[in-house]
Structure 1
Amino acid sequence: MSDETTSTPGTAFMLVKTTPEWLAKTVEERVHALTTEVVPVIEARTTGVRSRFYDTEFYSARVTDVWVWEAEDHHAYQLLVDALRETPFWDRYFEVVDLLVGTENGYARTYGVDAVTTIST
């Protein structure tokens, strides 16, 4: 399966809200839960994904964090979600509020044009 649809890198913006169970943990317990219950499952089930995390609870009551997942292709992203759903991350520590998945500059690839970008100095 190596057509353009499955081999195009994708980025998922996973909008989540912390649960009372997560907030009841100490910072040390949270780090331990992520490093022992979540990350090993992701690493065992998929490759080609990178994550970044953004705190948004200062500005939003509905979404407390945005987890950005960059996947080398659709299959890697699918395996990631399948793995997350088998951990306490999904609906126990965090409520997944929304998933926004896209491909960077997909229009440029589709139409064979240069991506429009900005550079501010």
Structure 2
Amino acid sequence: MFLFLLIAMVVVVAAVTLAVVGGGDRAVLPETAPEQLVDPLPATRPVGRADIDSLRLPVAARGYRMADVDDVLSRLGAELAERDARIAELESALAGAQATAVSPPGLLREPGEDTDR
């Protein structure tokens, strides 16, 4: 009985192996090229929330392809740095405009400067 179960197990393992690997002329699992990232991030405008939501990275054997993830992250990092710089520029311009609008005349003059102009 043991010998029969051992032979049956070997036959089942061999059949599954042939089915997965592909025995004969017709392969069950054909070779396919790895997925490549088609960059859906817009090149002509800043990246928006909808662009990130629609982004789908191709899956590799062990997770995501590192090069594709690195490319997307570097693009997003550059966009965020650009936005942060623009926000800082606008905040400083706003603070300067508010300071001149609130200050009384002569507050920003140099000491000793003539006020009768």
Assess same fold via TM > 0.5: no
Q: Which one has the largest radius of gyration?
A: 2
More helix by share: 2
Shorter-chain TM-score bucket reads: under 0.3
More strand by share: 1
TM-score (structure 1 length as normaliser): 0.21
TM-score (structure 2 length as normaliser): 0.22
